[in-house]
Amino acid sequence: MRIFQVGSLSFVLLALGALPALGQDQASSPSPSVMIEALPPQQGGGAYSSAPTSFSGVVDRVVQREHLFVAQMRHMRPMVETYLQNLKTDKSGNDSIMKDNYFLGRLDMSDGPEDTSFIGQPGFSRRMLNRLTGLYAMHFLPLGFAQMVVLDPDFQKRSYNFTFVRREFLGEVRCLVIDVEPKKDASPGRFVGRIWVEDQDYNIVRFNGTYSSRAGTDFYLHFDTWRLNLRPDMWVPAYIYSEESDFKYGVSKSLRFRAQTRLWGYDLKALNKNSEFTQILVDSPQSVKDQSDAGADATPVVAERMWERQAEDNAVERLQKIGLLAPAGEVDKVLQTVVNNLLVTNNIDLQSDVRCRVLLTSPLESFTIGHTIVVSRGLLDVLPDEASLAMVMAHELSHIVLGHKFDTKLAFNDRLFFPDENSFQRLDFKRRPADEEAADTKAVELLKNSPYKDKLGSAGLFLTALRERAPDMPNLIRPHLGNGLAQGKSLRMSALLASAPQVQPQRIDQIAALPLGGRIRLDPWTDQVEMSKAKPVALTSAREKMPFAITPFFPYLTRLSVPGSEKVALTAPTPQ
């Protein structure tokens, strides 16, 4: 976990990596009595036959539930994604992006937090930062962020002082707010901060703070972790926000960053399950029809189309089973509407359906798999309006209209037999530069004949903002499956820059791009996505525009009212 050295003294910046392994018994830890404060008279009920009658009883129940949570997490392997932005202060005194980092993998807590990386990192080491050079160059590693899903893998009442603060609602969930501090003689690496405990079953639904350290030797990052009630009697981690604004290291160095960690794909088994073998299906006699009049064999043209669709279906199905692609849902219909507007107004008949799907990752990318247009969650988040979305869809639709070649090698199923973590190496949907240029030209033609022709200035404004910030956020614009929106001096759909108004950062009514997380809401259990239905919020200053920026999470928590219900707590979008 060492990040740099000064002389013979090591300085470390850690998350949970320094903590004991899951389930480790610390027999040497002292066990003095816990500081107890009387609980106010209104006590929440719950699933238990009797509610605790004292604050000490509440703490006992919280510790018990946290141990159950750790046991549950050992059997889950969710996707975990961290996107981080290093910040600097611009001339106006506002934060601006200096550089960024990105991590994607699958979390495995069966034997302590471990990671299977999807993008070629060395794996989840037990470090948060790593020294790269003797000049204090910092390099982030992912496990520190992912480990923040656990308050303390050896959470024991004897190791902490607990102080009741108040009751508070998080969304619809009434919580007990409790301050938690390690005992003076407790081992380093213990959580210090505040927890929110729902008052029915006493699960921790949020914890905010850092970890204790040895004076002058250890330093820990601050974080805010949220859990959602995704299934009966189960609250699992979904969002982690981390921020440092004044961390000092070296002689005159400081670290400033913001990071978002998202977890999803908790129920991938359901996506892989074949319902034919789990349900009894009875075919109606009326469904059996004589197809002899349709002809038994496909013509060569139809056979070619069927072969391409087979490769397309195989790729889409594999991406969904991995947890990278959202199941078909309502967002696809929104994208499909934009595609239909482009097709109808340009009198185009493709003789086959164009489908739309959402990639669940944050980097800004879009690509086609045969006749399926895929757009990333991050790109949908930051697009400011429908005209900008139409620009993205028009480019991908143009590849289909122009008949650009789709490699049908994935029609052979054996090519899909690879570990999930090799997906970005084994699945490649990039286009040739010549095809990209042709698609840009055709897309401009489609847009000029579309309902969006008079609103393309906003699309050009988005591209202008993207071009200006691209050098500072290479990981956000780096594609993993398709072509990038910006690469070097090349910018997709650059012809629309001419229609863009001049960028005026101080105008609060000119929105070039939204922050991340402002448009798409993700159910971490089912991987379903939907458009945010939150009402727009009037900005009060230019500082609140935050194009492409990371912001904190504040989910609106709800309980599952009926066992097996699909209702979940979803992240409130960033106000715009």
DSSP string, 391-423: HHHHHHHHHHHTT----GGGGSGGGG-S-GGGH
H or E stretch covering 71? helix 55-73
State whether 108 and 163 are in the same domain.
yes
Low-confidence ranges of the chain (pLDDT < 70): 1-49, 111-115, 120-146, 214-219, 248-253, 268, 270-295, 562-576
SS3 487: strand
What does the alpha-carbon distance between residue 66 and residue 60 come to, in Å, rounded to a whole number? 10
Looking at the structure, tell me whether residues 259 and 314 fall in a common domain.
no
Per DSSP (E only), the strands in 124-171 are 129-131, 138-140, 160-170
Q: Is residue 180 part of a domain?
A: yes
Domain membership flag for residue 392: yes
426 and 318 in contact (C-beta within 8 Å)? no
Structural domain of 15:
2-22+56-269
Residue type, 37: E
Q: Is 290 domain-assigned?
A: no
Of all helices (H) and strands (E), which one includes residue 180? Answer: strand 173-182
Last residue of some domain: 249, 269, 289? 269
Round to whole Å and give the CA distance between 174 and 574. 23
pLDDT of the residue at 40: 47
Q: What is the pLDDT of residues 233-289, one digit of tens each?
A: 899 999 999 998 877 655 556 778 999 999 999 986 765 554 444 455 555 555 555
DSSP 254-319: EEEEEEEEEEE-TTHHHHH--GGGTS-----GGG----GGG-SS--HHHHHHHHHHHHHHHHHHHH
Say yes or no: 165 and 304 in one domain: no
* pLDDT of amino acid 534: 79
Do 352 and 235 reside in the same domain of the chain?
no
Pairing of strands 223-231, 129-131: unpaired
* pLDDT of res. 18: 33
Which tokens in the block code for residue 569? Answer: 């707590």
**Does one domain contain both 238 and 305?**
no
Question: How is 339-380 classified by DSSP, letter by letter?
Answer: HHHHHHHTT---SS--EEEEE-SSS-BEEEETTEEEEEHHHH
DSSP string for residues in 228-260: EEEETTEEEEEEEEEEEEEEEETTTEEEEEEEE
Both tokens of 115, joined, read 């990671």
Cβ-proximal residues to 319 (8 Å cutoff; 6+ apart), any chain? 325, 359, 423, 427
Asked if the structure places residue 486 within a domain, the reply is yes
User: Based on the domain organization, do 195 and 69 belong to the same domain?
Assistant: yes
Angle ∠(517,518,524) on CA atoms, nearest 5: 45
pLDDT, residue 109, reads 80
How many CA atoms lie less than 13 Å away from 260 in the CB half-sphere?
A: 21
Q: Looking at the structure, do residues 451 and 333 belong to the same domain, yes or no? A: yes
Closest by Cα among 9, 1, 18 to 213: 18
d(CA 281, CA 5): 66
| 283 domain-assigned | no
Cβ(397)–Cβ(342) below 8 Å: yes
Same domain, yes or no, for 322 and 236?
Answer: no
Q: Are residues 257 and 304 in the same domain?
A: no
Please report the pLDDT score of residue 527 as a whole number. 95
Is residue 29 a part of any domain in this protein? no
Residue 382 falls inside a structural domain: yes
Contacts of 8 (CB under 8 A, 6+ apart): none
Taking a C-beta distance cutoff of 8 angstroms, is the pair 362, 473 a contact? no
Q: What residue type is assigned to position 332 of the chain?
A: D
Kindly report the backbone phi and psi dihedral angles of residue 235, in degrees, each rounded to the nearest multiple of 5, phi listed first: -115, 120
Residue 561 inside a domain? The answer is no
One domain for residues 235 and 316? no
Structure tokens at 446: 């489609």
Residue 108 sits in the same domain as residue 171:
yes
Sheet architecture: strand order including 372-376 = 355-359, 372-376, 366-369
Neighbours of 10 (CB within 10 A): 14
Q: How many domains does the chain have?
A: 2
Domain identity same for 15 and 90 = yes
- d(CA 415, CA 498) in angstroms, rounded, equals 44
Q: Could you give the C-alpha distances from 185 to 159, 225, 383, in angstroms and in order? A: 8, 26, 51
